[in-house]
Amino acid sequence: MNRIVAWFLRALGAIYLVAFVSFGMQADGLIGPRGILPLADYLRGIHEAMGARAFWYLPTVFWLSSSATVVRVVWIAGAVLAVVLMAGFLRRVCLVLLLVLYLSISAAGQDFWSFQWDILLTEAGFLAIFLDASPGRTWLFRWLLFRLMFMSGAVKLISGDAAWRSLTAMSYHYLTQPLPTPLAWYMYQLPAWCQRASTAFVFFVELLVPFLTFAPLKLRRTAGCFLIALQVLILLTGNYTFFNWLTIALCLFLFADPHAGQPRPQTRVHRAVTMGLMAFVLSTSGLELLEMVSLPLPEPARKYLVLISPLRLVNSYGLFAVMTTTRLEIIVEGSNDGENWQAYEFRFKPGDVNRAPRWVAPYQPRLDWQMWFAALGSTSDNPWFYNFAARLLQGSPAVLALLQHNPFPAAPPRYIRAVVHEYHFTDFAERRRTGAWWRREEKGTYLPPISLRQ
């Protein structure tokens, strides 16, 4: 068991390292002074609206200072602490500081740091502060893994989505997921019976296998193999940042033999801390499970969940509750005369139909991801998009650095617009003939032409 604990902490350190470096590479363009959602403006607005309550509901060290220098210090400090954790030194100190710093980033990141893997990392990081080889504390990681997988399966049924209930969801998934990999193109070509079997496999692994995480050792190890197999399939066909790797790391606890080796005697203080930790996690997650299935909660319980939610220590999960069946992409274009338009090219999301899907995980290009969500709604649902357009009109170097190609290198354009296209994967015959991975058709206007004057 001690070996499993050591492996998990090294893996957690590696994931923290990826998360902090990823933040550092994008922070200036996303939340910097000349970024899309400047952090200083956000903190000022929250404080004006909430007063002293803002410090609780937005827990972040950036209240002390939100300057670009402090942001840089935070991500570099996080990266250094992650390396120290991987080396096995000052583990609890590193884990406490890493949790504080990453919670600070998640709270300050606004629309760009609101993903489930971010809250999963904070919850796993919180439990890791107390981690040792004792059965109670390692059991909490199995409970986290159970909730993560079972809730992800349950929401698919609770949502009533027709694609999941008819077992056709995987016929769309490879095409419509945020950032597919090249392998997703091939998986999309599989026959309908294979896609139905894949959907059934997802339900089997997410709804039934999680219960084996509490079974005897041999069954737990079998469950671990199934869960890891699903995560490997997901990471091979989609770019889901560090999510799959963190889930695989949690699966390590399914392979540990609790009776191997000689566990250290537990002191009275150790047992008390373990019982308190279990009471907190089980009660909070139990209420969240009841809330997920729409059972009415007493008013004190609802207020408790609202109060505790900003800390992101115990969370609800559930990816792809409703399967997107078409792929819409926003193409952002600039012009100097309002007649001739040139497209900006993003680094990883689909644009040029001849460009293959790219491998990018465990790094997460947060702007590319947010563009996928923006296409599901309108500009009124995504007010950050106006800020993005304004930064392009201003020629912000920090924002332009997030893109693959700027068609206006000498000076920013006078006008920006955004057009929606529906994208489809080509088939084998069309790809052999044209070399294109995608085909697309224009669907309408997402953002009409605007200028800085507007």
Residue 297 has pLDDT above 60, yes or no: yes
CA torsion sign, 85 to 251 to 360 to 324?
negative
Q: What is the pLDDT of residue 453?
A: 81
Give residue 295's pLDDT band: very low, low, confident or very high (50, 70, 90): confident
What is the pLDDT confidence band of residue 214, given thresholds at 50, 70 and 90? very high
Which percentage of the chain shows pLDDT scores above 90?
93
Which residue ranges make up each domain of the chain? 1-114, 133-322, 327-450
Task: Tell which wins on pLDDT, 451 or 453.
Answer: 451
Each residue's pLDDT tens digit, 104-139:
999 999 999 989 999 999 999 999 999 999 999 999
Residue 256 pLDDT: 85
The predicted-structure confidence for 388-431, as pLDDT tens digits, reads as follows: 999 999 999 999 999 999 999 999 999 999 999 999 999 999 99
pLDDT at 322 over 70: yes
Q: Would you say 423 and 429 are in contact if contact means Cβ atoms under 8 Å apart?
A: no
Predicted confidence at residue 294, as pLDDT, reads 82
pLDDT at 254 (0 to 100)? 96
pLDDT at 114: 85
Tens digit of each residue's pLDDT (9 = 90 or more) over 284-294: 999 999 998 88
CA angle 419, 420, 422 (to 5 degrees): 145
The crossing angle, in degrees rounded to 10, of helices 116-129 and 2-31 is: 140
Confidence check: pLDDT of 381 > 70:
yes
Distance CA 358, CA 349 (A): 8
Q: Could you list the beta-strand ranges (E) of 234-379.
A: 327-335, 342-343, 345-346
pLDDT of amino acid 257: 79
The first and second tokens of residue 328, run together, are 């819409």
Percent of all residues in the chain with a pLDDT value above 70, rounded to a whole number:
98
Contact 205, 226 (CB under 8 A): yes
Q: Determine the average pLDDT of the residues in 39-67.
A: 96
> Per-residue pLDDT for 261 more than 60?
no
The band of 2, judged by pLDDT with boundaries at 50, 70 and 90, is confident
Give tens-digit pLDDT for 66-106: 999 999 999 999 999 999 999 999 999 999 999 999 999 99
Mean of per-residue pLDDT scores for the chain: 95
**Type of residue numbered 298:** P
Q: What is the average per-residue pLDDT within 238-257?
A: 95
What pLDDT is recorded for position 262? 53
